[in-house]
Structure 1
Amino acid sequence: MIKIFHLPSCSTCQRIIKELEIQQDVTFQDIKTTPISEADLDKMKASVGSYEAVFSKRAMKYKSMDLKNKNLKELDYKRLILEEYTFLKRPVIFVDNQVFIGNAKSVVAAAKMAIHGA
């Protein structure tokens, strides 16, 4: 099972999806029109160890809400991601029981290997 959480309007997400060269069935979830569920977010957190690791500090709202000057706790990161889709690092790629988060070259390469079984 492959599921990708992304934004169709995000050029980085689209570039990575194309780079993955997926040949089998994949479920795409547009996180703007279909918000991420708490269960999916918890699965992401379990994979990387914290909600902060799934949280995008590059989001424009992060700056506009002056969050860098606030002492955010784990539950704050979770709440913010569930309330505002732009706070989720993307893309997030589920490949069976593995989760790949973000656009780092190493993450994309690992996801591609998991998808293609190489």
Structure 2
Amino acid sequence: MSILDYKEDSVNLLMGNEAIARGALEAGVRVVAGYPGTPSSEIIENLAKVAEKAGIYVEWSVNEKVSLEVSAAGSFAGLRSMCVMKQNGVNVASDFLLHLSLSGTRGGMVLVPCDDPGAISSVNEG
């Protein structure tokens, strides 16, 4: 079942990353970029499955900085955007994040840094 198949007038059971993806769609996201890494990968995977049908742009970027730049570009164009990465990836994107905080955005933009409590799939605990 796709995240588009859930009905608003009924109770739907979703995993956390599915709920983030569905919430982004309901909020009107149009540009989504991210860098793969557990525990954040499933957000992009769920959105990529429905991208064409939902009319959104979704990409895996070459690194976290590029994913933030792609998301910011969508926001600069007035579109709602979302950037998804592991908590450690925020360090990689921090140079552009600093400049982004100075320039601002036009459309709404959400940064989703997914943490890994207990360091189950990361090299350190965030």
TM-score by length of 1: 0.31
Q: Which one has a larger percent helix, Structure 1 or Structure 2?
A: 1
TM-score by length of 2: 0.30
